[in-house]
Structure 1
């Protein structure tokens, strides 16, 4: 019988308020229009960018699975948080278990070596943790171990060097105290946004792995709070709710995808993050969520054009909490959750398996932003009213980091009045 341990993959709060200039680009390297890396980024960019297509594929495959499991619910998660945690776990996995994890993260092991994957994640964590001004983004990993479990020094050294791992001794035989220690750590690291991540812990647990991401951004063009008003949001044919709807008129990056019958608006945050707001026509959400892949995002990016519009977008807070063991199993990561698991790279003996994986994420969207201090810009208004885009029925919100082209968050907002 294998000893079990938990992996808690968590992710923290997001304050949406708008962003920089250019779209994510999933080519090998940056779009020619993209801002160049600063010199201190040049040395780490190559390995990091090698991961971009795979991480994007993982993000949208995971999104498809989650939407199938919960078709009519709000969804919000961080693909980069989940993939980082499992890449770190692969450091301690061996044989088929390791192969399944890396292939489940959509890596083709004939095209990229394990060493390159770990180097790429190391560089990704470094770049995301040192973003350009305007965005606050913290990533990290922690491992909580029972005193009697002695992990290999090589695993701890490699995980610390590559994944910024912190290690703590924990008494899991006292679940209440163990939960408090872990939850307090996560709450502190996520600035209070993620609370009560773990509960009902099994006293037989010997190790818990936690991965967290915290993001806070200010809109480049903030909404004025005095323009926010209560308006109707149509959840489905039977359900209508009232939501505080933010409003502004201005030039926005805009595209209408005729094939998928959806409107795409791109908003920017100060700094390196970008939000794609995607409003499918009524009845077309299912097709959109099941066909969404990185190539579609790239197509939207390529076709965006500046358009004067009247934009209504809800102010809301949601969180997503998922036990994602089954989801990952459907994506080919199977053995690590069974007695077939080989995690001997962690302790030297193959007597560990993962019991469950918890992922929690939260999102806050409001008007806030930093107005430019020394410049004033006036939008020239046409005589006739510009078209209105109102996000008043279920929509998608995708948040990318432009410096690394990483998919930070994917959300489906079905009912913005339901927090979790």
Structure 2
């Protein structure tokens, strides 16, 4: 009989949002998939850059699958954390199981070697864990093991070295105590943002593999809370809700994509993080979410231009909890969830399979953040009223790290008043 283990992805995104006005260093047309600071990290950036197209393809393919499974609902997840954890799992996989995992992560194994993949993720984790000033970004992995399961020293050594893995011995024979230990660890690592991640664990669980990412960023300039007012948000043709809408007038990177009928506004965090706010025309969300690929982001980046705008953006908190096993199966990662799983690289003789993959994420957006001394004083006053862009119906929010070319978070906000 196969022994099952449980995988969980703990994704906490905490954004203390303060509105970003562009500084001279944020030149127009800059691509989030082209990092500005490679020279600061030397060979690390070169190693993780090899993963860029594959990780981006995985991110948007996963997004498409999730939107099909949960239509008309808020979505928020971290593709880079999911791909990192499964790459780590591939360390202990063998034969077809390993191939399916790596190909499911969109790696072409005729073009990139397994060793290069693991080295790339190692450097990616290191760079994301040491971001520039202004962004707090913590990423890590943990494994909880029953005393009965003796992992191979080689697997643990590689996983600790390449993926900064922490290992813990856990009494899974006492499910409530095991759940508390794991949930307390997650809550601590995500600064209280992710709670009660695991529950009703499979009684045959012998190992839990978890991955987490915590992000806290400040826009370059804050919204003024005094300008926040309650306004309408049109969820769909039948549903309208009231939301606190933040507002600021200033110069923003802006583009209207005629082909996809969507407005794109790019804002920068202090440090190396960047957000794309994407507002499709009413009725055009499905077209956008099913055609969004990395080349789309590239095209937007190439065509952005600085424009004086009156921007309205909602203040909101959302979270998402997903059981993503079926999603990954649709993407080709199949055997690892069945009795055909070959995870013999983890513990040698004992047969293992993954029973469940849980993914939880949270996002807060509000006015708070780092104050800039001359933030409000330096506003440009227009003679004529600038165009107004109001995010008052479903939109996308994409957060990138420019240093590593990583898609940190992808969100679809359908109803900002629903928190989970």
Same fold (TM over 0.5): yes
Q: TM-score, normalised by structure 1?
A: 0.96
Q: TM-score, normalised by structure 2?
A: 0.96
Report the RMSD for the aligned CA atoms in angstroms.
1.3
- After superposition, the C-alpha distances for 1:250-307 in whole angstroms (9 at most, x for unaligned) are 0000000000000000011111100100000000000000000000000000100000
Give the match for residue 334 of structure 1.
Answer: 334
CA distance in 1, matches of 2:386, 2:235: 26
CA distance in 1, matches of 2:105, 2:31: 20
Q: CA deviation at 1:38?
A: 4.2
Give the match for residue 61 of structure 1.
Answer: 61
- After superposition, the C-alpha distances for 1:67-116 in whole angstroms (9 at most, x for unaligned) are 00011100000000100000000000000000000000000000000000
Q: CA deviation at 1:369?
A: 2.1
Unaligned runs of 5+ in 2: none
Give the match for residue 191 of structure 2.
Answer: 191
Q: CA deviation at 1:374?
A: 7.0
Give the match for residue 36 of structure 1.
Answer: 37
* SS at structure 1 position matched to 2:385: coil
Give the match for residue 289 of structure 1.
Answer: 289
Give the match for residue 12 of structure 2.
Answer: 12
CA distance in 2, matches of 1:352, 1:358: 18
CA distance in 2, matches of 1:79, 1:16: 21
- After superposition, the C-alpha distances for 1:281-338 in whole angstroms (9 at most, x for unaligned) are 0000000000000000000001000000000000000001100000000000000000
Give the match for residue 360 of structure 1.
Answer: 360
1:272-311 matches, cutoff 5 A? 272-311=272-311
1:202-351 matches, cutoff 5 A? 202-349=202-349, 351=351
Contact 1:141 1:164 (C-alpha < 8 Å) held by counterparts? yes
Contact 1:170 1:178 (C-alpha < 8 Å) held by counterparts? yes
1:128 aligns with 2:125: no
CA distance in 1, matches of 2:318, 2:116: 36
Q: CA deviation at 1:16?
A: 4.3
- After superposition, the C-alpha distances for 1:201-260 in whole angstroms (9 at most, x for unaligned) are 122100000000000001112100110010000000000000000000000000000000
Unaligned runs of 5+ in 1: none
| Structure 1 residue ranges, 4+ long, deviating more than 6 angstroms after superposition | none
Q: 1:129 to 1:378 in 2, by over 3 A?
A: same
* SS at structure 1 position matched to 2:184: helix
Contact 1:341 1:350 (C-alpha < 8 Å) held by counterparts? no
Report the count of equivalent residues.
Answer: 413
CA distance in 2, matches of 1:35, 1:197: 36
Contact 2:32 2:401 (C-alpha < 8 Å) held by counterparts? no
Contact 2:183 2:197 (C-alpha < 8 Å) held by counterparts? yes
Q: 1:375 to 1:77 in 2, by over 3 A?
A: closer
Q: CA deviation at 1:376?
A: 7.3
Give the match for residue 201 of structure 1.
Answer: 201
Give the match for residue 414 of structure 1.
Answer: 414
